[in-house]
Chain A
């Protein structure tokens, strides 16, 4: 029982990271109908920005966090203008290829500027964690779970109860109709990219104290987050969260009770099973229909 509780906590913690990155996938997919394969690099870049402002420049942690996220917002805007906007009237394929190219560009630019050395980033709390009965609760994972829950609630409120949120929803559902109703579609897509870059950035900064800051950290997380998005239902926010959490828990329990070396395999087995038996995911519509 103690073992199961410990695994459950860890699974939810790592699953929350997948969920946060998956949220970024979903938001951009809803707005543009394409998958942004550079979403993982947003997380990596934010973590490196945090190292620069917090460790190298010496800003207070909270201020470095805000400055890093402002940097991500700027990056999101530039990304939209450079990677998506010039191809907005093309089919989804050139845009996807463009995001893959941007992903490689961002990783290699970071490598060229910073160098290959992984970095250590301290967490928000001085205490790394504490024991609650037999279960060790990592304070960083607790923070990740809490932030994920808060962001999901905020996102629900934003999309359902604000005018901007409703405009974004309208844009994602039917761009032409939204445009006829006077909604500035290009601006809405810009806002979506900015918001997704910030969300990805938050995920990267939160997970950095656990996984370290390295060039490859984004790609590793994004692959699982992408799987979580498909499992949850592409284009569905709730699905991304459930998919991320489910993936984290499944791979953790699978590793503990079946095989550690095949930990990643469990995640992708579940993904394959969904693609075969329920391609629309838990909540969403069929991937094929979207494509």
Chain B
């Protein structure tokens, strides 16, 4: 039998493409895949395991309720090694799998910034937890945030410390990464409208072994209240202990890491009587309590925001795909932006045009290691 050039080319193309086509067809028939970038190794490996648990709880609930478009969802995990290059590599591995229809990015803003260009190229919806306000202003239509951004946390910290606690002279200690810098700026910007002033703006590099110079700067600043944005719980633990040892006892309102399970365990009494803005507070709503109950049954420890945002992200992505009636990225995006009043573990989701789903924070207090819900402060979003 003679083979023509066209026939040969067609056969060659078919041979090359067949495995991918078969794999894609098989995958389409089997599950709806969601890729998740998370730390399995490195400094944030523990919080990564919490995030994984939150996502798995959502997966079980979604699948129990019928899955997505009649198929079960499946989570594909990749380790970001708690580094920016690791995160980029992990996302690239996931993005190269054509059968993955959506992604979960990082809770760390700096990693989100690193991955954002590739996420734009991938052109599929990405749920993430990083709270740098700039992340949803990158003209990247695929990013959807499942935690309130730091423009809200800054406003809530400033308002609570200045109005409720009556303190007007602030020392701000923050990580110099994208999260810490953006958070500190948001807090600084919110001070004047609350009649408060800035006594100290002190950045630090992540994973420091000693905070004595930072604590002494706070002590010398004459501040009567402390606001913090810490990225890693080990840093927060070391800082909290040294703060108390060196005699600084001014009120302290921190970003969500101050009420994380790991931070509470490491710092212990050094964090007693501190306040925190918490996107997840177990007693803040029925949905939060319900998530907390399931999480405690699975992990035997209290839940925190590391797990609640991934729970909400998987739930909302599944909801959007079902509403869209498709996993086609553009349709899922439209359905995500149309979500209104969805009651998640972190709060009520109303996505604005930038992709921000939440617009307020809870205030909680550490009472001898127990995190007590105080109040929730919500802001009216522009849903355009």
Contact = CB atoms under 8 A, between A and B. Distances in A.
A120 interface: yes
A115 B49 CA distance: 9
Contact of B209 (A6, A136, A221, A262): A221
A183 B122 CA distance: 64
Nearest to B268: A120
Interface in B209-253: 209-210, 212-214, 216-217, 220, 233-234, 237-238, 241, 245-247
Interface stretch (B16-24, B37-45, B359-367): B37-45
A91 B331 CA distance: 61
Interface stretch (A81-89, A142-150, A228-236, A253-261): A253-261
A239 B237 CA distance: 33
Interface in B107-156: none
17 contacts: A3-B216, A10-B212, A116-B46, A118-B237, A136-B247, A138-B245, A211-B209, A211-B238, A214-B43, A216-B43, A220-B207, A220-B209, A252-B213, A256-B212, A261-B176, A261-B205, A264-B208
B266 interface: yes
Contacts of A210: 238
Contact of B234 (A108, A214, A262): A214
Contacts, number: 88
A125 B241 CA distance: 16
B272 interface: no
A23 interface: no
Interface size class on chain B is: 35 or more
Of all A-B residue pairs in the complex, the 9 with the closest CB atoms, nearest first, are A116-B45, A256-B213, A255-B213, A116-B46, A10-B212, A261-B176, A117-B46, A261-B203, A261-B205
B375 interface: no
B299 to A, nearest CB: 11
B45 A111 contact: yes
B216 A7 contact: yes
Given A116-B46, A120-B265, A120-B266, A7 B213 contact: yes
A118 B43 CA distance: 9
Given A128-B241, A212-B237, A263-B205, 4 more contacts: A3-B216, A3-B220, A129-B245, A138-B245
A27 interface: no
Contacts of B40: 116
Contacts of A260: 202-205, 213-214, 217
A108 B202 CA distance: 34
Interface string A200-217: 000000000011101110
Interface residues of A, number: 32
Decide if the interface of chain B is mainly helix, strand, loop or mixed: helix
Contacts of B63: none
B273 interface: no
B197 interface: no
Contacts of A261: 176, 203-205
Nearest to A9: B212
B48 interface: yes
A10 B215 CA distance: 12
A216 B207 contact: yes
B204 A108 contact: no
A214 B237 CA distance: 12
B262 interface: yes
Nearest to B247: A136
Given A136-B246, A260-B217, A212 B42 contact: no
Interface string A103-143: 00000100100011110100000001100000010100000
Nearest to A251: B210
A14 interface: yes
A260 B45 CA distance: 26
Contacts of A3: 216, 220
A117 B204 contact: no
Contacts of A255: 213-214
A10 B211 CA distance: 10
Interface string A1-13: 0010011001000
A166 B364 CA distance: 63
A108 B41 contact: yes
